[in-house]
Amino acid sequence: MRGPHNFLRLIRTGATFERTGAMGVVLDAFDAPPLLRTAARLLGKPFRWLGYEGDPNMPPVTRAITALGPAYIKFGQILSTRPDVVGIEIATQLRVLQDRLPPFGMDEAKAAVEYELGQKVDAVFSEFSDPVAAASIAQVHHARLAATGEEVAVKVLRPGIERAFRRDIDAFRLAARMIERLAPFSRRLRPTDVIAHFEQTVLGELDLRLEAAAAAEFAANTAKDAGFAVPPVLWHLSGKRVMTLGWVTGLGAADVEAIEAAGHDRRLLGERVLQLFLSHALRDGFFHGDMHQGNLKIGPDGTLIAYDFGIMGRIDHYTRRVYAEIIFGFIRRDYKRVAEVHFEAGYVPADRDVDEFASALRAVGEPIFGMEASRISMGRLLNYLFEVTERFGMETRTELILLQRTMVVVEGVARTLDPHINIWDAARPTVEGYIRDSIGPRAVAQDLVQAARVLSRFGPRLPALAEAVLVAQSQPTPPPSRRPLHPLVWAGGGAALSALVILAAASL
């Protein structure tokens, strides 16, 4: 949806921050320089009347973000986990965005359930409560099944949410194109690709059938993880706009005082959050991509319970190994190896100097190695990391955006539970275990077995493919006037040669 309305949307964004008083709060939180403050005021004040008023009962930043809509709320949820970046005051305000937004009406919710399930609410549920949690995309109701008495959670999408998201994403896409055009140096960060990735990720949340499938897969992967649980999916009561899960009882992960009062060990919980995320990402290649406090509960026995599976991430085997080697290199303070892995994976252009990059990484790692989280300024660290990526021409890797973003969120959750957590010490057991299993002799044997399985599927076809190659090579070269071989013929010959090469390599 291109058009002038996207320009208006961007102008209205700045005007809303100005009108709600959020502009000054944000500039102060990020310690903006005088020039940026002046520019923001000059651009914001003339259009102040265009801004949304929002809910005057909310703090300024939360008021502005909620007024602007669901896509902005998603960004706010991420920032709510990082008090070390935006400050404790703003992070505390933004936690409202995780699960305490204004709900939509009960009549609309029941109508959506009845339309999706094809049955009256009273026929399916003996109890159906008012919303117990409301976020940017959906709200949740506590219900009880009429047939069995089982307690369940019924998630219902907000009416008109698809259109609202597309509107915001169109404006973000316009902003990304403007940034790329007006600031050429920003192109290595690939703003347009980042927005496209964000669009793909968020729009996937708008079909609850996909979320139900993700929840079921995640539950199967993590069934043996001690101290971790995923509520079961009730498939017969789920659809595109409605999803029903088993009800979970526990304390919100953001309610630190209640967790402390219940006698839970916050240090162990902080370590568990970080270690479980790394385990899911490295071991399974499938991880919860929205693991903020609003999507986590602490069970009575200290079990970490995850829910809301609309955003899930996947990474392939190679990327998992690269990611693990980078973390492991930092843990061992082997910055030369960390630099080499970046070059081997193509994350840094080949024409840059690996030793200089290693020195830059040392300047990142040494000041924070072994230091507890409360003494690390994540804001200054991120600023320096940005300088490093710019100096060495590193481009944004869209396939890693969700992984990196979630790592930032999970670290923020761990810090909230235990402000003194040592990130490196907490990560070491999980990363070392993965390195041992994925790069050592056992991993080589597993790779050979996997290669043999792949080759076994090609086995019956290898003689025919080899003969096709020999026949093609024995044919005389066609004169220029003859039509060339169809590309599919060349593709078939290439596949045969590739299979033979693989087979020969496996037999060495």
Answer with the one of 99, 126, 161 that is the final residue of a domain: 99
The model's pLDDT over 248-261, given as tens digits with 9 standing for 90+, comes to: 889 999 899 999 99
At 482 the pLDDT is 46
At 501 the pLDDT is 28
Please tell me whether residues 123 and 185 are part of one structural domain: yes
Tokens representing residue 228 in the block: 């971790």
At 489 the pLDDT is 32
- Nearest CA to 299 among 349, 348, 261, 253? 253
Please report, rounded to a whole number, the percentage of residues in the chain having pLDDT higher than 70: 76
Please tell me whether residues 15 and 78 are part of one structural domain: yes
For residue 374, is it within any domain? yes
Please tell me whether residues 213 and 257 are part of one structural domain: no
For residue 175, is it within any domain? yes
Please tell me whether residues 18 and 128 are part of one structural domain: no
Please tell me whether residues 32 and 127 are part of one structural domain: no
Q: Which range among 45-59, 161-175, 229-243 has the greatest average pLDDT?
A: 229-243
Please tell me whether residues 151 and 177 are part of one structural domain: yes
Answer with the one of 99, 123, 148 that is the final residue of a domain: 99
- What b/e readout covers 297-326, taking b as 16+ CB neighbours within 10 angstroms? bbbeebbbbbbbbbbbbebeeebbbbbbbb
Please tell me whether residues 242 and 267 are part of one structural domain: no
Please tell me whether residues 217 and 273 are part of one structural domain: no
Contacts of 191 (CB under 8 A, 6+ apart): 175, 176, 177, 179, 180
For residue 50, is it within any domain? yes
Residue 502: which pLDDT band, with cuts at 50, 70 and 90?
very low
Tokens representing residue 311 in the block: 């955003």
Q: What is the mean pLDDT of residues 325-336?
A: 85
Please tell me whether residues 92 and 224 are part of one structural domain: no
At 361 the pLDDT is 86
Please tell me whether residues 156 and 21 are part of one structural domain: no
Domain total in the chain: 4
Which of 14-23, 130-139, 444-453 has the weakest average pLDDT?
444-453
At 463 the pLDDT is 74
At 447 the pLDDT is 65
Residue 372 burial (10 A CB sphere; 0-12, 13-18, 19+): middle
**Helix or strand or coil: residue 128?**
strand
For residue 445, is it within any domain? no
At 231 the pLDDT is 95
* Cα–Cα distance measured from residue 57 to residue 77, given in angstroms and rounded to the nearest whole number: 19
Answer with the one of 247, 266, 290 that is the final residue of a domain: 247
List, by residue number, the catalytic residues. 290
Q: Which range among 15-24, 26-35, 266-275 has the greatest average pLDDT?
A: 266-275
Q: Is the pLDDT of residue 235 over 60?
A: yes
For residue 448, is it within any domain? no
For residue 450, is it within any domain? no
Domain extent at residue 485: 456-507
CB atoms within 10 A of CB 340: 17
For the chain, what is the mean pLDDT? 79
At 156 the pLDDT is 95
At 30 the pLDDT is 66
Residue 188 burial (10 A CB sphere; 0-12, 13-18, 19+): middle
Please tell me whether residues 143 and 213 are part of one structural domain: yes
Residue 14: which pLDDT band, with cuts at 50, 70 and 90?
confident
Is residue 42 a contact partner of residue 99, using CB atoms and an 8 Å limit? no
Q: Is the pLDDT of residue 338 over 80?
A: yes
The CA-CA-CA angle for residues 452, 283, 304, to 5°, reads 150
Tokens representing residue 34 in the block: 């005088």
Q: Is the pLDDT of residue 406 over 70?
A: yes
For residue 446, is it within any domain? no
Please tell me whether residues 10 and 130 are part of one structural domain: no
Q: What is the mean pLDDT of residues 466-486?
A: 60
Q: Determine how β-strand 304-306 pairs with β-strand 228-229.
A: parallel
Confidence (pTM): 0.71
For residue 81, is it within any domain? yes
What DSSP assignment string belongs to 317-381? HHHHHHHHHHHHHHHHT-HHHHHHHHHHTTSS-TTS-HHHHHHHHHHHHGGGTT--GGG--HHHH
The model's pLDDT over 293-315, given as tens digits with 9 standing for 90+, comes to: 888 999 999 999 998 898 888 88
Q: Is the pLDDT of residue 157 over 80?
A: yes
Q: Is the pLDDT of residue 175 over 80?
A: no
